[in-house]
Structure 1
Amino acid sequence: MSRRVLAMLAAVALLSAVSPPAQAAAQNDVYVALGDSAAAGPLIPNQVLPELGCWRSDRNYAHLTAQAIGARTLRDVTCSGAKTTHMYQSQNTDLGSVAPQLDAVTSDTTLVTVQIGANDVGLTGFIEDCLNLLPPPVGDACNDDYIVNGQDSWRVKTDALRPRLTQLAADIRARAPQARVFVVGYATYAPPNGCYPRVPIIKADANYIRATLQYFNQMLAEQAAAAGVGFIDLQTPSVGHDPCTAPGTRWIEPYVPASPATPFHPNALGMRGFAAVVTAAVSGA
């Protein structure tokens, strides 16, 4: 055996001796999950108390990730309808008010995931606005409704979120200096050209929704990098699992769900898929 190989083996042995495995480190995690309905999992069994108005599932990716990494504590405060303001202010739900999500981030926190911003720009409502039961020329495309004074209003609103997300990352770090922080992106909601009429969004609008979400996820990744925190891409791994695919394959339900989930939100299979991605990212795999 060459001296070079011996030296490499010795270095590996030394690193193994002084560096605990990622899984072992994760087992001491105090994990805080922040976010909106894409993270909460509305209608996915089982919905958890005491904040039932948040429509939070005990099978969302935060719960599954915490289980997978053996986290010591999980504080899941994700809440359907949440905006960036609800990181700092209480949120009114249909069943009562809930505390600001950042209250869950304390000095003992060692891991944070945050998936937020879609409600600030109204992305879910935007997708629903583009539903078109009748194709052109009877039905009307929606994509040109969002061009105002020559500017794409969704991109304008997306760009307006940039400083808020950078500040949010800084505020999380100030509250939990030892925490590993990850911004989580959003999934693929439309394949190229859509699948009209299975999902009643015409080709031009499906491509517009797709481009809009790609721009939004790009913004999230850029702001995470600017803030010096991690970014977890859910868009790429969810390709081929969009609402146009069959039950048992899709991770995001269409306008008429076939499994317990809110329209255009993750189902239980999707949460399992997202949990695998999140688990790998937070474990350093």
Structure 2
Amino acid sequence: MRLSRFASLTSALLLAAGAALFGAGTAAAAPQADFGYVALGDSYSSGVGAGSYDGASGDCKRTPRAYPALWAAAHSPQTFSFTACSGARTGDVLANQLGPLNSGTDLVSITVGGNDAGFSDVMTTCVLQSESSCVSRVNQAKAYVDTTLPGKLDQVYNAIRAKAPSARVVVIGYPRFYKLGGSCIAGLSEGERTAINGAADHLNAAVAKRAADHGFAFASVVGAFTGHEICSGSAWLHSLNWTNIGESYHPTAAGHSGGYLPVFTNAA
């Protein structure tokens, strides 16, 4: 009887030890929790200029050549929601893009602010009007960035954090458009190109400040695009494109894969 009880006890202990050992092994081999990535923003995130647009995205012109889709293809998150849209302003992000965000979202990327500041109108003015008109319009945009844009960015950033409290949020900036003293022999004057580059720096500084104040990462692409601006001879940005005017001053496919993608990857 005693031997039987001892054998039973020994067997039970061995089973318990085995269960603990192999149970730990099973837990280690269990699949990772879902990793969710949501890509928000304007045409610089949707991929205008990179081509091969997804017809289902309509006027938003999302493309698998854009940096969010390239990152998702390389890293295989369990969920990937791509809501960035061409022409989006801060209000459009708030109204139309935040649906996929939730408490399980791990990573968010966003480019926004350029359309609020009047990017398209600035470039139209500079292309079609005088240098003085160009500089004046640039200064109007910079004043907007100083006085109005920060509050609009705050609304977007607050909404992202409220919906995705645990996510890493990477706010990405805009490139300088022109290589000064570069290879261009026609088009805008050096004064206009200088003013436009200065406006990009001004916008980036404002966006970076608001991102930092919300605890978000800011990723600058200026360095990545240095040597690849318009007039560089190796541009990753479309110049004025009369055939497809909407792609003007947007990154090419190479600009997304060689510029935006590595910058975002390093920040994510």
Are positions 1:65 and 2:61 aligned together? no
Aligned to 2:136: 145
Aligned to 1:136: none
Of the three residues 230, 234, 244, the one matched with 1:243 is 230
Are positions 1:255 and 2:240 aligned together? yes
Aligned to 2:106: 110
Aligned to 1:170: 158
Q: Deviations over 1:139-164 (max 9, x none)?
A: 654334338xxxx3222111211122
Q: Structure 2: how far apart are the matches of 1:212 and 1:140?
A: 15
Of the three residues 203, 216, 226, the one matched with 1:229 is 216
CA drift at 1:125: 2.6
Q: Structure 1: how far apart are the matches of 2:52 and 2:245?
A: 10
Structure-2 change in CA distance of 1:232 and 1:28 (3 Å): farther
CA drift at 1:243: 1.6
Q: Is the 8 A contact 1:54 1:80 kept in 2?
A: yes
Q: Structure 1: how far apart are the matches of 2:229 and 2:163?
A: 36
Q: Is the 8 A contact 1:241 1:252 kept in 2?
A: yes
Aligned to 2:93: 87
CA drift at 1:261: 7.8
Are positions 1:192 and 2:177 aligned together? no
Q: Structure 1: how far apart are the matches of 2:245 and 2:70?
A: 17
Unaligned runs of 5+ in 2: 1-30
Q: Is the 8 A contact 2:117 2:142 kept in 1?
A: no
Aligned to 1:277: 263
Aligned to 2:253: 268
Q: Structure 1: how far apart are the matches of 2:34 and 2:176?
A: 33
Are positions 1:205 and 2:179 aligned together? no
Q: Structure 2: how far apart are the matches of 1:251 and 1:67?
A: 21
- Counting matched residue pairs gives 236
Aligned to 1:30: 36
Q: Deviations over 1:160-218 (max 9, x none)?
A: 111221232121111011110111101121123565434x1101111000111101001
Structure-2 change in CA distance of 1:144 and 1:254 (3 Å): closer
Structure-2 change in CA distance of 1:174 and 1:271 (3 Å): same
Q: Structure 2: how far apart are the matches of 1:156 and 1:229?
A: 24
- Structure 2 residue identity aligned to 1:143: C
Aligned to 1:181: 169
Q: Is the 8 A contact 1:182 1:229 kept in 2?
A: yes
Structure-2 change in CA distance of 1:194 and 1:166 (3 Å): farther
The SS at the match of 2:56 is: coil
Cα RMSD of the aligned pairs, angstroms, is 2.6
Q: Structure 2: how far apart are the matches of 1:75 and 1:210?
A: 32
TM-score, normalised via structure 1 length: 0.76
